[in-house]
């Protein structure tokens, strides 16, 4: 098995340059978007030549932030030595395509403007910027499925099938159908033996648990006919999922609270609950990376940290543009 000594050592140096709480406060204190761009370029958080984004609107800056993350991921793939480790990392990165399609699905369902929707969805290897923008212009979820079908996406048919229950269960069946395809592909790559495959399986288990926990929190009176469980998790098994799905909302919140862990009342808002689940999984992944410093857990933890950095920076930039108070922005960034 190819060890990841060199690439993991480089990642250690890059982690030290991530934008922390103090840098966020400094960014927020800058008097204009131009001044904030200057600081981000100088710190390396934003990959752009000095002056290249002068006068650029906020969506263009957000696109540059996303492009920087995508470039970092591509560079990371190129640095990993050995086809096996590279294949495992590529399988992990491919999971972001499902996330992007779910963002597009929600946006087209709620009439989000195409430019804004394209800014919200992550750019991936399977969804480069031009294709992402074309999909963001779909006038409805059904039209999105059609455009994916034209591109021969493996997500098109599951999305269309899930949308068949939209009237009775909203977007949930379609989102789960997308995730089931994505997880199936990634889990197939993780079946190999060795420490790196085990690290990927552990990360996928965290993601599957988040998916199943989020599904349980979203469930209300609607009961879709299709299977909503995503296999592969370690904290919520299929039998427990089925039992909780038939139970009441309080029981589901209590069960999910043990996954975070947190007080059940903090999970009343599904969107906020998903953020709590995400952050708990990232913390566990960072711990796994410390315990296995030569394994794939280190690149996986770096990817999550880099994506979180961009999320927080984008929130600060947009909050400042909306005129929110500094305290409110920082509270949201740390939520």
151 contact partners, CB below 8 Å, separation of at least 6: 131
Taking the C-alpha atoms of residue 95 and residue 160, their distance in angstroms, rounded to an integer, is: 19
H-type alpha helices, the chain: 5-15, 21-28, 33-43, 58-79, 83-109, 114-120, 129-136, 141-150, 156-163, 166-169, 172-189, 195-218, 238-246, 249-257, 270-291, 297-322, 326-334
Taking the C-alpha atoms of residue 250 and residue 214, their distance in angstroms, rounded to an integer, is: 14
Taking the C-alpha atoms of residue 282 and residue 256, their distance in angstroms, rounded to an integer, is: 16
**Of the candidates 141, 135, 209, the residue with the CA atom closest to the CA atom of residue 170:** 141
Helix, coil or strand: residue 50: coil
Q: What is the pLDDT of residue 255?
A: 92
Which structural domain, as residue segments, surrounds residue 98?
A: 5-334
Spans in the chain with pLDDT lower than 70: 1-3, 49-50, 220-225, 335
- Give how many domains the chain has, as a whole number: 1
Q: What is the pLDDT of residue 326?
A: 84
Q: Phi/psi of residue 110, each to 5°?
A: -110, 10
Q: What is the pLDDT of residue 181?
A: 94
**Of the candidates 278, 327, 289, the residue with the CA atom closest to the CA atom of residue 21:** 327
Token pair, residue 96, equals 């972001």
Taking the C-alpha atoms of residue 296 and residue 294, their distance in angstroms, rounded to an integer, is: 7
Q: What is the pLDDT of residue 3?
A: 62
Q: Evaluate whether 6 touches 79 at the Cβ level (below 8 Å).
A: yes
Q: What is the pLDDT of residue 1?
A: 41
Token pair, residue 241, equals 């999922």
Taking the C-alpha atoms of residue 281 and residue 205, their distance in angstroms, rounded to an integer, is: 10
Q: Phi/psi of residue 44, each to 5°?
A: 90, 0
């Amino acid at each position: 098995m190819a060890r990841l000594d060199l690439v993991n050592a480089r990642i250690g140096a890059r982690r030290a340059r991530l934008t922390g709480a103090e840098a966020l406060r400094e960014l927020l204190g800058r008097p204009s978007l131009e001044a904030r761009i200057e600081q981000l370029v100088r710190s390396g958080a934003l990959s752009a030549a000095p002056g290249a984004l002068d006068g650029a609107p906020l969506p263009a800056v957000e696109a540059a932030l996303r492009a920087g993350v995508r470039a970092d991921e591509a560079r990371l793939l190129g640095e990993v030595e050995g086809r096996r480790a590279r294949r495992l990392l590529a399988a992990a990165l491919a999971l972001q395509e499902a996330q992007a399609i779910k963002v597009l699905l929600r946006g087209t369902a709620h009439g989000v403007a195409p430019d804004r929707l394209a800014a919200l969805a992550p750019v991936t290897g399977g969804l480069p910027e031009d294709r992402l923008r074309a999909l963001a212009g779909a006038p409805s979820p059904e039209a999105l499925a059609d455009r994916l079908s034209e591109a021969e996406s493996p997500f098109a048919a599951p999305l269309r099938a899930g949308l068949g229950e939209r009237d009775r269960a909203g977007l949930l069946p379609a989102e789960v159908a997308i995730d089931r395809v994505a997880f199936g592909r990634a889990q197939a790559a993780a079946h190999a033996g060795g420490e790196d495959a085990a690290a990927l399986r552990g990360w996928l288990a965290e993601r599957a648990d988040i998916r199943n926990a989020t599904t349980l929190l979203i469930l209300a009176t609607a009961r879709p006919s299709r299977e909503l469980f995503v296999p592969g998790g370690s904290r919520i098994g299929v039998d427990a999922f089925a039992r909780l799905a038939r139970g009441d909302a309080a029981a589901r919140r209590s069960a999910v609270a043990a996954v975070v862990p947190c007080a059940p009342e903090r999970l009343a808002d599904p969107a906020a609950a998903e953020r709590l689940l995400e952050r708990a999984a990232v913390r566990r992944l960072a711990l796994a990376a410390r315990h296995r410093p030569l394994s794939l857990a280190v690149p996986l933890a770096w990817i999550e940290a880099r994506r979180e950095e961009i999320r927080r920076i984008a929130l600060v930039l947009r909050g400042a543009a909306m005129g929110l108070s500094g305290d409110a922005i920082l509270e949201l960034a740390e939520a």
